[in-house]
Amino acid sequence: MSNKSYDVIVIGGGFAGVTASRELGRQGYKVALLEGRDRLGGRTWYKDDALPGYSLELGGTWVHWFQPHVYSEITRYGLELVETVGVSAPELAATVSGGKQSIRKFDEVGDTINSVMEKVVEGAREVFDQPFRPFLHPEALAEVDKLSIQDRIDSLDISQEDKDLANGLWGAMGSAPCKDVGVVAAMRWYALSDFNIQTMFDAVGRYKFKNGTRSLIDAIANDSLADIRLSTPVASVEQNENGVNVTTRDGEVLTAAGVVVAVPINTLGSIKFTPELSSGKQTVAAERQAGRGSKVWVRVRGDLPKPFFAVAPDNHLINYVVTDKIFDDGQILIAFGPDGANTDADNVEMVREELGKIFGDLEIVETVGHNWANDEFSQGTWSMFRPGQTIEHLSELQKAEGRVFFAGSDIANGWNGFIDGAIESGIRAGREIRGQLLGQQI
């Protein structure tokens, strides 16, 4: 057992933790960044040769100039973006309703897609006219936060086919069944995209880093001056009148004036806090945010529409598919579903069966993915709050407790669940710990 002292210890090496480390390190504070995995990036993971010959994003991927914090970082480090072709210009759309497949030209269903998506988020402007201030209209927020996305879909005066379409689209975006995701989460995405569904599609799924999310996480980390320790999961955080003791699972004790906890809220319960966290934080850690779906990369061979788009209701293990890359003899597809724990992304036969329910027989060569739902350091995918969680718990999740401060994309005011939200919260946590705890310690 050893003991090493820092000004700040940051727990979690995703974009929030790395950003907080940079903000503090560049101010002259001595910072240690502890990450449980053997890599940085958290729920983003740009993996070399994920499919033979192709480096792919197994986790969070997309960015946009409507996401101000991440776009500022793109500018700072001179990074380039490329497009996901299936989002920008699909040729055909495959849809499922009542167990029946339908394949049409995308132009024939594009307007319907936009219409049913917008109906789900009607009234968003009254709640989120300033979307980075989520509590600006608390009464309006409380009223809609009672509802799930499925509640809103069920209330719409539209055909069952259109309800199935809305369910499939929002289920994929929610990374969970629509009954488990608060409609507020959908409204926030829409509001942050200037109340325009097509802009929202672009913001959440069209533009990605040319050299992967790793290009940005490494740039920020290299700029942080922090002592970065990988494969160092934390067991406990104990506050006392003199500072904070952080004990790793290996038994090493590190001390600091303060700590930034930048881990997903679904994993908060895996760290022992003394004193215990507030009841609000414990409640959300036990309830969990809803996002727990799957992301599967699929290499297919054959003469497919170039590119194509497919969607099915959220009772399918795979319910949303778009083209990412096109070759002379096939494509690489990105497939999403609402139940990651029961989706084996490496099982070609399972993936073939599930895709067949949407699009018919496909010649699948290879598949790959990562089970974020069962990953101990994430225990879920991107953050999508359940009904009631936003109004009841978001502000509490953001509050410092003594010498312990909190960050993470899950608790962002703006792009909750995105790289942008992680950076936003990392900047906020760095500012708060400087202002409230460190003072003139430099």
Numbered residues of the known binding site: 234, 336
Which are the contacts of 53, defined by CB distance < 8 A and separation ≥ 6?
A: none
Dihedral (CA of 277, 281, 287, 290) sign: negative
Token pair for residue 269? 């319960």
Rounded distance, CA 34 to CA 246, Å?
10
Distance (Å, rounded) from C-alpha 217 to C-alpha 45?
10
**Burial class for 306, CB neighbours closer than 10 Å (0-12, 13-18, 19+):** middle
**Cβ proximity of 121 and 190 under 8 Å:** yes
Residues belonging to the binding site for substrate are 336
* CA 115 to each of CA 111, 120, 197, 213: distance values in angstroms, whole numbers, following the listed order: 6, 9, 9, 32
Token duo for residue 271: 């760290």
Q: Which one, of 70, 84, 370, 405, lies nearest residue 219 by Cα?
A: 70
Q: Which tokens belong to 399?
A: 């509050």
Which residue in this structure is represented by tokens 């917008």?
A: 118
Binding residues for FAD: 234
Dist. CA 96–CA 119, nearest whole Å:
20
